[in-house]
Structure 1
Amino acid sequence: MKKNVLKFGLFSMILLGMVSCVNKEKELADKRISELESYVDSLKMVSAEERQANWDQIAADYEAKNASANEALQSLEESDKAASQEKVNASNAKYDEIKVTVISKTEEEPAADAGTGKPAKVSPSQLLRDRLFGAGKIGSDMNFAWVNKDNIVAVYDNYFKAYKANKENFTREDYDEAKLLFEALDARKNTVEKEGLSSEDNMKIASIKVKLSPMFKFNRMGAKSRENSDAKE
């Protein structure tokens, strides 16, 4: 009898420890998501002129908070993840609205660097590239020369996290563009492999690719269904 009591006591302690761990992960995710929401909401309090003048820093701060929130999401139970993901998606949508406003304002002014006197054109595809790789990292030429053996795993990982965080809002064109960008990154990996990419990093990249491959196909099919449904309404 005494042994059974001791076993039950030990089991209870382990169970309590597991519950405590889950609660801490939920608290951390809630905290990071709240920080993301507060940051995006605070941008609405900043004047259009200040946002435009400090956009590079704003974008960098946002990307850091968004990545932090998405990282915390991965440790949540499935029952909590869906609701938390919706909050992150809502903040992403708000941020995109602000970003479009800033870019639209920039388009009305002469390009500072081009020297042509013509407005700088920013397409929806550029917005997608910024979301997947970070503001200003990839242009229309899809040049991945900045990716090397030291940062390539992080680039793949960040792409995967950004893709998962935003895929529910993608159109079929967005999915096609996202897949094209991934293929361009893959082509860069072939070069980086010859420059000393480690076997361990290669395996990490392979794991990410295995998870992404079916997502490209099925997520695009889902987007087509949504668009067809919207068209009927």
Structure 2
Amino acid sequence: MKSIKIAAGIALLALSFTSCKDEKQEKAQRTIDSYVTYVDSVKNVKAEDLKENWNAVEAEYDRRAAEANLALADIKDNAAETEKINTSKAKYEDFKNEVSTLLAPPAASPKQQLRNALFGEGKIGDDMSFSWVNAQNIHSVYQQFVHTVENNKDSYSREDWDEIKLLYEALDSRKNTVEKEGLSSEDNRKIAGLKVKFAPMYTVNRMGAKSEENKEAKK
């Protein structure tokens, strides 16, 4: 009788273990299916409609993807589930690239690219404000401007040189203000040297650019 009870207990324990194991696998399967369903549901929405909430979509995706990958360990023969996860991941990455293209800022115009090169990214916009230039940094601003022009003088068009002249005059105007705000005599001297370097470089190269354009126009 005792042996029967022991055998029954072992059988019950084994059944319980099997039941727990099956339940764990079923839960893992549901987690993976939920991940696949989420990816499909996201892909069914127009990328344009997700722009404003994309950070939340990504956070939710990352959470579900992590859970799905962990769930694989609870499935004994998980080749099929692994394939499902990889397929959904590929789908999501393709869709993510589509959204990223929409979220990317528009490319800067040639004029803005020139301004960025001469002064730094976004320093000079359409308002042409030089309020960020002060007695402490104006020498380095002139330095970057003149050296950038010198390094690229052979590639500028006539329109580029006209823009460069406009920006140079605006910087000079700012210098007149900065001189009254504590510009050191040493920096003033260095700026004067840069201005002497810039003037003939501008004159010669703008004339050259115009001449090249006239030649091209005649062809």
Aligned partner of 2:114: which letter? Answer: L
Residue number among 116, 120, 124 corresponding to 1:138 in the alignment: 124
The correspondence for 1:157, drawn from 143, 150, 157, is 143
Aligned to 1:35: none
Instruction: For 1:146, give the aligned amino acid.
Output: W
The match for 2:60 is: none
Task: Provide the C-alpha distance between the structure 2 equivalents of 1:111 and 1:196, rounded to a whole number of angstroms.
Answer: 42
Q: Which has the larger radius of gyration?
A: 2
AA aligned to 2:152 is: N
**Secondary structure, aligned partner of 2:128:** coil
Partners of 1:109 and 1:230 in 2: CA distance: 38
Q: CA deviation at 1:111?
A: 8.5
User: Is 1:178 paired with 2:164?
Assistant: yes
Which amino acid letter does the alignment assign opposite residue 219 of structure 1?
N
* Identical pairs, percent: 59
- Output aligned runs, 1:74-153, within 5 Å: 109=102, 122-153=108-139
Deviation >6 Å, runs of 4+: none
Instruction: State the partner residue of 2:200.
Output: 214
TM-score, normalised to structure 1, is 0.48
Read off the aligned partner of 1:154 and give its amino acid letter. Answer: S
> Gapped runs of 5+ residues in structure 2?
1-97
Give SS of 2:144's match.
helix
Listed as ranges, the gaps of 5+ residues in structure 1 are 1-104, 113-119
**CA distance in structure 1 between the partners assigned to 2:102 and 2:162 by the alignment:** 31
Q: How does 1:56-75 map to 2 (within 5 A)?
A: none
CA distance in 2, matches of 1:142, 1:110: 27
Structure 1 residues 223 and 210: CA distance shift in structure 2, 3 A: same
Aligned-partner Cα distance in 1 for 2:104–2:180: 38
Paired AA for residue 195 in structure 1: E
Choose between structure 1 and 2: higher helix proportion. Answer: 2
2:68 alignment counterpart: none
Distance 2:103 2:177 in 1: 37
> Which residue of 2 is the match for residue 197 of structure 1?
183
Q: Which residue of 1 aligns with 2:46?
A: none
Counterpart Cα distance in 1 of 2:196 and 2:130: 21
Deviation at 1:123, TM superposition (A): 2.2
Please give the per-residue CA displacement for 1:132-165, whole angstroms capped at 9, x wherever unaligned. Answer: 1111111111111111111110110111110011
Identify if the C-alpha distance between structure 1 residues 140 and 111 changes in structure 2 by more than 3 Å, giving closer, same or farther.
farther
Deviation at 1:124, TM superposition (A): 1.5
Q: CA deviation at 1:110?
A: 6.5
Residue of structure 1 equivalent to 2:10: none
Distance in 2 of aligned mates of 1:182 and 1:201: 17
Q: List per-residue Cα deviations over 1:105-134 (Å, max 9, x = no partner).
A: 9xx74688xxxxxxx573211011011111
**How many pairs does the alignment contain?**
120
* Alignment RMSD: 2.1
